[in-house]
Amino acid sequence: MLYFYHFPFKQILIAMFLLPILLPPTVLGFYLLYIFSPSSTVGGLYKHITNKTLSFSSEGLLLASLIYSIPLAFFPLWEAVKNINVRWIEIAHVFGYSRIETFFKVILPNIKGYIISASALVFANTMGEFGVVLMVGGDIPGKTRTISIYIYDAVQSLDY
Amino acid sequence: MERGKLLHLRAEKKKGKFRLDINLKIEKGFNIILGPSGCGKTTTLRIISGLEGADRGFLYCCGRVLFDTEKNIFIPPQKRRVALVFQDNNLLPHLSVRENIEFALKKSDNPLDLNGMAEKFGIKEIMDRFPHQISGGEKQRVALLRGIISNPDILLMDEPFSSLDFDTKYIIMRMLKEETDFDIPVIIVTHDPVEAYFLGERVFFMKDGRITEEGNRETIKEKFKDLLHFQ
C-alpha cells in the first residue's frame, strides 16, 4: 500500500520505518522498554487488556525484535512490490477479482521469493540481536534469555 | 440512449492541464478511436472500464448504468463485465498460458471451448508455456483470446498491436476480423491509421480530449490516402 498510494508525508513515514536501523540497539531498546512499561500508554493498554506486562516478557521481546528488524524486511519487500506491474492488478480487477483476491492470486505469488528472503534476514538478525533483547527482555532465564545472551553469559563466566 | 447504440459515454475529466470532454455513442462491432498520443484515448478506455472515474458524466451499456455522477452511481471494474487488452504486460508472469486464460474464465459464465478457441487463435501448442517463454505476438494472441473468452459486455483494446512487427500485427488483425464475430461493442484505440483502416467499421477521430469527427474506413482513406497508398 505504501508503494502504490501517494499521500502527503509519505517520505517521512518511510523514514520512520527505517529509523530503528539508525539508532544504536541499546538506545532503541531503552526507548522500547520505556514504551512497553506499564506506566506508558502502550504498555498500560497491553496490561489492561491481557493483565500481563509487555516489558520483560517473551511477547515484548518478540515485538521489540520485530520493530528492530523492520528496516531489514522493508528493503526486500519494497523491491518486491516495485516489480509488480500495476497492469496485472488492473487486469485482475477488470476480470472480476476483488482487492483481496488480487492480493492472494496476483501480488503474493509474484513476491513470495522476496518474502522468504526478508523472513530469513529478519530471523537471522533476531537470533543474533543483543542490545534490544537485553534491554527489553532483561535476560530472565527460561523466559527471555536468547541464544546470543546465553553465549555472552557463558563467555563472561569463562564457561566455554 | 439512441436506438441501436449499445454504449453511450459522456465524460468530463480534468488531469492537470489536460481536459477530457467526450461524448461517445458506440454500436456493436469494431469501433476505433484514432488520435495522436496524449489526446485522451487511454483515459477514455480507463473510464469505460472503471479503472478511473470521471469528474462528470455517465456511461450506459447494454441497458445498464455503469456510472452516473449525477445519480452518484459507480459500478466498480469488477462488476462491469469488461475485458481489457493492453499494449503489453497483459499476462500474469507466474501463470502458464492456459492458467492465464483460465484466470479470466473463473469469473465468467462462458461455455466456449477453450481448446477449440486456442486452436483457432494458433496458440494450442504453447498452452503450457509461461509468458517469458513465448513471443510478443503470441502474448497478444493469448491476451486477445483471454479477453474474448471472458464473455464481456464490452471489449476494450488499448493500442493492442503497436508493440508488434508489421507481419505479426497483420496476421493477428486478420485473425481478429475473420475468426471472431462480435455481438458486443469492441473499442480499439490506436494512433495508427493503417490499423484503424484495417479494423474499423466505425472510426472516431480524437484530438485534445475531444471527438472531432466520426466516420468509417472511407473517411480514413480520404484523410490518410498518401500513407495508406504507401503501406
Residue A14, in any domain of the structure: no
Interface mutation target, options B78, B144, B149, chain A, most CBs of A under 10 Å: B78
* A100 CB neighbour count, 10 Å cutoff: 8
Strands B64-68 and B73-74 come out as antiparallel
| pLDDT for A94 | 94
Question: Predicted confidence band at A149 (pLDDT cuts at 50, 70, 90)?
Answer: confident
- Chain A / chain B CB contacts < 8 angstroms: 49
Residue A11 included in any domain? no
Residue A9, domain member (yes or no): no
**Residue in B83, B89, B94 nearest the CB of A94:** B83
Could you read off the pLDDT of B43-81 as tens digits, one per residue? 999 999 999 999 999 999 988 999 999 999 999 999 999
Nearest residue in chain B measured CA to CA from A89: B92
Bridge-based pairing state of the strands B185-190 and B154-158: parallel
pLDDT given for residue B110 in this prediction: 66
Instruction: For chain A, say whether B155 makes contact (Cβ under 8 Å).
Output: no
C-beta atoms of B83 and A95 within 8 A:
yes
**B110 touching A, CB under 8 A?**
no
Enter the ipTM: 0.88
Q: Test A96 with B79 for CB contact under 8 angstroms.
A: yes
Question: Touching check for B170 and chain A: CB below 8 Å?
Answer: no
When divided into structural domains, chain A yields a total of 1
Tens of pLDDT along A16-53?
Answer: 878 888 888 889 899 999 999 999 999 899 999 999 88
- Chain A residues touching B82 at Cβ < 8 A: 94
How many whole angstroms separate alpha carbon B105 and alpha carbon B101?
A: 7
Partner-chain residue, chosen from B79, B86, B104, that has the shortest CB–CB distance to A87: B86
Report pLDDT digits (tens) over B9-34: 999 999 888 999 999 999 888 899 99
Residue A2 lies in a domain: no
Position A46 in a domain? yes
CATH number at A30 reads 1.10.3720.10
**How far apart are the C-alpha atoms of B231 and B226, rounded to whole Å?**
9
Range of the domain at A148: 23-156
Structure confidence at residue A1 as a pLDDT band (50, 70, 90)? low
Partner residue facing A85 (CB), from B50, B80, B89: B89
CB of B18 closer than 8 Å to CB of B39:
no
Residue A16 lies in a domain: no
Sorted by sequence, the CB contacts under 8 Å of residue B130 that are 6+ apart come out as B93, B95, B96, B97
Instruction: Flag if B49 and A91 touch (Cβ within 8 Å).
Output: no
The shortest CB-CB distance from B150 to any of A95, A98, A110 is to A95
Are A131 and A28 spatial neighbours (Cβ–Cβ below 8 Å)? yes
Nearest CA-CA distance, residue A125 and chain B, Å: 30
Q: Where are the domains of chain B?
A: 92-151
pLDDT value for B109: 67
CA–CA dist A70, A21 (Å, integer): 8
Select from A4, A89, A95 the residue whose CB has the most chain B CBs within 10 Å, as the one to mutate to test that interface: A95
Does residue A17 lie in a domain region?
Answer: no
Q: Does residue B3 carry a pLDDT above 50?
A: no
